[in-house]
Amino acid sequence: MNVNTIREKFNEKFGAQGELFTSPGRINLIGEHTDYNGGFVFPGAIDKGMVAEIKLNDTDKVRAYSVDLDDYAEFGLNEEDVPSASWARYIFGVCREIQKRGGKIEGFDTAFAGDVPLGAGMSSSAALESTFANALNELFSLGIDRFELARIGQSTEHNYCGVKCGIMDQFASIFGKAGHLMRLDCRSMEFEYFPFDPEKHGYKVVLLDSVVKHELVGSPYNDRRASCERVAAVLGQEFLRGATMEQLDAVKGEISEEDYKRARYVIGEEVRVLDVCEALKRDDYETVGKRMYETHWGMSRDYEVSCEELDFLATVAEECGVTGSRIMGGGFGGCTINLVKAELYDSFIATAKSRFAEKYGHEPKVYSVVISDGARRL
C-alpha cells in the first residue's frame, strides 16, 4: 500500500502531518463454524491492511477522509452525531465504544486507505476498526488492554454497523504476529501462538476468490447454529465443544439425520484444528493440507455451506497436487484458501484460472498472502 499517497492526501485536506497507524486483515487456516460452538479458531494476520494518518485537531469534531472512496465526513462525538456514510460509522463507532468504557476522546483529523480486498472474507472492516482503536488508545494514552481493543471493534460492528460478528476478526487484527497463527479458544478466550512460516518450508498461501455470492433462502447460518444447539442439549452440554463421535453415535436415534450431520462436522473440525496445531509444531505441512481438504468436504457434505464453484476450485486444487485447499469463511461463495508447494504455484494458478473461466465465464481473483504483524504504529 502506498503510504505516500495517504501522506499527500492528509496534507492536502488538513495542511499538516500526523501519526501513521496500521492494522491487518486476516485469514483463518482452519476452524470454521466452531466459534459459536465454543470451539477453536486458528487465524493469522496478513500483509494486507488499513493505514491511517491521524492528528488531534483541538476541536470536538472528527474530520475523516477515505482515500479509496474519495469521500469526506465530519461528525461530532455524541450518540446523536452518527454519520450517514457507512464507512464513517466504523470510525464513529470505535470512538463511541471507547467513550462508553470511560475513555476520553477529542476531535481529530484522519485520512486512511487499505489494500484488503473487499468482499473476499479477509475482514477489511476489522482492519479499519483495529487501526482506529489502537491509534486512539495510543494518542489519548487511554491504557486500554489489547483484548478490550478487539472487543471495541466487535461492539462497533454490533452497535453501529448492524453485524452480529464473533471476536475472531478483531482478535486476529490486534494480536497478529509475523510467522505465527493464533489458536483462540472461543469458550475461555485463551490463545496460543503457533509457528507458521510456509515460505521457509517451500510453500505459499494463496486465496482464490470465486467472486460468487449465492443469495440465501431463509437463514442458513441460524439454522445450522440451531442444529448444533439441539444436539448439544440432547448430550446435556452447553456447546458441542468437547463432544466425541462415540457420544454423538449413542444419541443418533434421538436426533434428525440433518442435525447428526451438522454435529459430525463440528466434532470433526475440533479434532482437525488440534491436529493442525500439533503438525505445525513439527513443520508437517502435509498433514496440515490433508486436514484442510477434510474440512472442505465436511463443510460441503455434512454442514452443507459450500457451493458448486467452491467445490470445483477444491477439486481442481486436488487434481493439481495442491497440498491443502478449503472454503474460507461462512460459505455459499467467497474464497478457497490454498496451501501450495512453491514449484506448483504458477501452474496451479494458471490451471485454476483457465478451468474456472471455461466453466463459469469469469476468472477467480488471486490473492497471495503472507502472515504478518497485528495493529501497530508505523
**Residues tagged active-site:** 169
SS3 204: strand
CA atoms within a 13 Å half-sphere pointing along the CA-CB vector of 117:
18
SS3 288: helix
Q: Which residues of 80-110 are buried (b: 16+ CB within 10 A; e: fewer)?
A: eeebebebbbbbbbbbbbbeeeebebbbbbb
SS3 112: strand
Residue 177 has φ and ψ, to the nearest 5°, of -145, 125
Q: Which residue has the cell 486436514?
A: 291
E strands, 214-350, are 324-328, 333-341
Cell digits for 349? 494458478
Cell digits for 23? 492494522
Identify the helix (H) or strand (E) that includes residue 376.
strand 376-377
Helix H segments across 15-121?
86-100
